[in-house]
């Protein structure tokens, strides 16, 4: 184990203002006892949250709760943010050196963290796929929150990264019906890859026991109220940041005794909180990634040096992606897959 406090160099991505970001070089100390230095192989862009940060739209009232584990700086900017990082341990305790790991760390080519912050990536999970660990964890938490039952009828509204993950996990449950619902007909390609029934909102089947709402749109949440059955439950997974949402909570909302429940990955779902830790949840999430079906969510790759441009293109819509991967070994131009 290396205990020297000599410094090394690291490069990281910072949001520097609304719709602005840059790479910055910083000093990186050597790991101390029970710490590890990780060389990053891949990081993933969590589009929903990271673009809110990029647009300086984090509401001040939740700024502290929104902090990523190894974030530096404060919202709105300058801030180093991100949480889907996979690398290999270069220095640290002997049992960790050479191990592929997932960490909730911002985009950075090398970093030092306590080994307690690392999740071992199983040999059967390719490191590139392992960037999805944090999003699978979000889906696991939502399923723990909802507790789907044998023979349930379920709709997932919003066929993006989070909604697609929820549907991917649910497809193995003994359900009576599962539909992935989206306005964009092109999302049927994703649903087909997952082996899940796809529906336009106008054609989605009603009388659901549970609706998972993941579209981050007012219209999607309103549609959830129509699709859920009497005394059914909507699991709200969207984050609207500083946007206002209006819902028809008059009409038959009370007469049908509907429920809307928030699901947020910051804490383990109440149904499992006393028996599972966040580390347990991450271990479960990364183990689920042995299934190659999850490769359907990896829709493009870019070199680390391209990250500022990639984030801006995701923000302005000129680059479409479910999860765009940043490849720290890549020296050649981006590859993009339209979804």
Residue that is last in its domain, among 262, 282, 306: 262
Residue at 153 is within a domain = yes
For residue 337, pLDDT over 70 is answered with no
Residue at 295 is within a domain = yes
The CATH number of whichever domain residue 69 belongs to comes to: 3.90.180.10
For residue 269, pLDDT over 60 is answered with yes
The pTM score is 0.93
User: Would you place residue 339 in the very low, low, confident or very high pLDDT band (cuts 50, 70, 90)?
Assistant: very low
Residue at 278 is within a domain = no
Q: Over the chain, what is the mean pLDDT?
A: 94
% of the chain exceeding 70 in pLDDT: 96
Whether 106 and 185 map to the same domain: the answer is no
Distance CA 48, CA 162 (A): 9
Residue at 102 is within a domain = yes
- pLDDT tens readout for residues 177-195: 999 999 999 999 999 999 9
Which of the 8 DSSP states describes residue 108? B
Helices within 123-215 (DSSP H only) = 133-146, 161-170, 188-194
The CATH number of whichever domain residue 199 belongs to comes to: 3.40.50.720
Which of the 8 DSSP states describes residue 77? S
Task: Tally the domains of the chain.
Answer: 2
Whether 182 and 234 map to the same domain: the answer is yes
Whether 145 and 230 map to the same domain: the answer is yes
| Domain that includes residue 192, residue range | 135-262
User: Would you place residue 338 in the very low, low, confident or very high pLDDT band (cuts 50, 70, 90)?
Assistant: very low
**What is the three-class DSSP state of 194?**
helix
């Amino acid at each position: 184990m290396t205990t020297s406090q000599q410094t090394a160099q690291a490069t990281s991505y910072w949001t520097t203002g609304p719709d602005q970001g840059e790479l910055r070089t910083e000093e990186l100390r050597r790991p101390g006892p029970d710490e590890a230095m990780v060389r990053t192989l891949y990081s993933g862009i969590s589009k929903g949250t990271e673009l809110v940060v990029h647009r300086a739209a984090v509401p001040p009232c939740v700024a502290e709760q929104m902090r990523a584990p190894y974030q530096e700086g404060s919202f709105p900017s300058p801030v180093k943010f991100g949480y889907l990082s996979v690398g290999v341990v270069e220095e640290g305790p002997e049992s960790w050196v050479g191990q592929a790991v997932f960490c909730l760390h911002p985009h950075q080519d090398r970093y030092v963290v306590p080994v307690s912050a690392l999740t071992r990536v199983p040999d059967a999970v390719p490191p590139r796929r392992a960037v999805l660990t944090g999003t699978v964890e979000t889906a696991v938490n939502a399923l723990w929150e909802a507790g789907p039952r044998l023979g349930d009828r379920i709709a997932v509204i919003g066929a993006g990264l989070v909604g697609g993950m929820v549907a991917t996990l649910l497809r193995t449950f003994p359900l009576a019906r599962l539909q992935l619902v989206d306005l964009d007909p092109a999302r049927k390609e994703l649903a087909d890859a997952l082996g899940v029934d796809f529906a336009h909102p106008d054609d989605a089947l009603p009388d659901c026991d549970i609706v998972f709402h993941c579209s981050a749109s007012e219209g999607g949440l309103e549609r959830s109220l129509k699709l859920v059955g009497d005394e059914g439950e909507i699991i709200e997974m969207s984050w609207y940041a500083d946007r206002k949402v209006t819902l028809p909570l008059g009409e038959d909302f009370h007469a049908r005794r509907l429920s809307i429940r928030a699901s947020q990955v910051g804490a383990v779902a109440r149904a499992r909180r006393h028996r599972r830790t966040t580390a347990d949840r991450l271990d479960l999430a990364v183990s689920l990634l042995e299934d190659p079906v999850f490769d359907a969510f990896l829709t493009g790759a870019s070199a680390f040096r391209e990250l500022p441009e990639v984030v801006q293109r995701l923000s302005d819509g000129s680059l479409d992606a479910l999860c765009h991967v940043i490849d720290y070994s890549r020296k050649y131009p981006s590859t993009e897959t339209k979804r």
